[in-house]
Structure 1
Amino acid sequence: MKLPYEIKNADELIASEIAIIIKSWEQQEWDSLTVEEFKEKFSLSEFHLLKNEDGNICCLTHLNFDFKVELKHAVYDICELVGLVSTVKRQGYARQLLQEVVSNLQTRKIECIGFCGKELRPFYEKCNISILYDQAGYLREKVSDGQIDANPDDDILIIFLSDDKYRLLEDLNDNCIGYLLF
């Protein structure tokens, strides 16, 4: 059964929705966030939800618009798909939500990538998402204090991206490193 699809900004989420999102993401450092802190932290995000007839969230993800990628010394605004989680397992909701998100981004012409570990490749392959295998390690994280961290993921997911940016990501290697800017 296909569920209704909703998009909300952080400030449009109600407390019960925020509680479900935090619980679903299983990030201990976010467990203690108040509703106001959550809304502030994710103010540049957009939440994509599938809800059942009772209004319960069955699947969720968010698009992080506070995200830039530096490739070959040029900085690009590319949003990031993060936190795709089904609260109801094995019903096809994650696949449906991913299809809805891709269609929405294509319509709005918003470029977006995501990341995954090797264990999640089969899911994204089944969803027909283009994957740049083992390329995520060539994107390093530049954080505000100038520190550079390795990306813990294996693959780059191409949710919706122009051909030129796809080629830039595809060309990453030991001699051509990119950076994630936060």
Structure 2
Amino acid sequence: MTSYRIKNSHGLTATEIRAILQAWDVTAWNTMDTLQFREAFSQSEFHLLSDSSGLLCIARINFDLSIRIAATIYPFPEFVGLAAISKNKGYGKTLIGHIIAELKRRNMECIGFCRSEVRAFYEKCTVPLLYDKAKYLLEKEQQDWNNVTDDDDIIILNVSEAHHNILRRLSPIHPGYLIFES
């Protein structure tokens, strides 16, 4: 039997943090200790799927992201870091279902980004995608705004119809600008 929980970075155990870092396998983060992890991800919440054997799947909601489109800034929490400890067992799909239900319950908008290689996974989860729109989100690099992402699509976990339409209109002549608070 699986259980779904949400924790902030300070509520995670050292064992959970080690499992998350191992699942993510990001070289720059592999040497983080518990305190560094909690500080680095203090503006995030972690969605955990586990059973009696331990952690099965994790994802993170990052609250540091906003997107400026035209003259308006939209705070869009970012779905990121989805990782199943054991692959191809349905844990990712199950966790996404829990996350979407929780976002709707809290009336909280949330988007994510993905490469075209994983589109089929999100399509199987019946998560709406805005195909090839992530490349129109620019990020500040030194003094210039550039497309620095290798993501292709925007994942729509829970967004109002009005905001969905705004994101749908992203284009080379109507880009968005990623703003990270920290």
Structure 2 length-normalised TM: 0.95
Task: State the shift of 1:146 in Å.
Answer: 4.3
Task: State the shift of 1:45 in Å.
Answer: 0.2
Instruction: After the TM superposition, list the runs of 4 or more consecutive aligned residues in structure 1 that deviate by more than 2 angstroms.
Output: 145-149
Q: How much is the aligned-residue C-alpha RMSD, in angstroms?
A: 1.2
| Matches of 1:181 and 1:93, distance apart in 2 | 31
- The alignment partner of 2:111 has SS state of strand
* 1:71 and 2:75 aligned: no
Task: State the shift of 1:10 in Å.
Answer: 0.2
Output one character per residue of 1:40-91: Cα deviation in whole Å (capped at 9) or x when no partner: 010010000001113x110000000111111122111110000101001111
1:75-90 alignment to 2 at 5 Å? 75-90=73-88
Equivalent residue number for residue 9 of structure 1: 8
Which letter does structure 2 place at the counterpart of 1:45? S
1:108-127 alignment to 2 at 5 Å? 108-127=106-125
Which letter does structure 2 place at the counterpart of 1:58? L
- The alignment partner of 2:2 has SS state of coil
Output one character per residue of 1:87-121: Cα deviation in whole Å (capped at 9) or x when no partner: 01111100000000000000001100001101100
1:18-167 alignment to 2 at 5 Å? 18-54=17-53, 56-142=54-140, 145-150=142-147, 151-167=149-165
The alignment-based identity, stated in percent, is 39
Task: State the shift of 1:33 in Å.
Answer: 1.1
Task: State the shift of 1:149 in Å.
Answer: 3.5
| Matches of 2:35 and 2:14, distance apart in 1 | 9
| Matches of 2:156 and 2:143, distance apart in 1 | 27
Structure 2 segments unaligned to the other structure (5+ residues) = none
How many matched pairs?
Answer: 179
Structure 1 length-normalised TM: 0.95
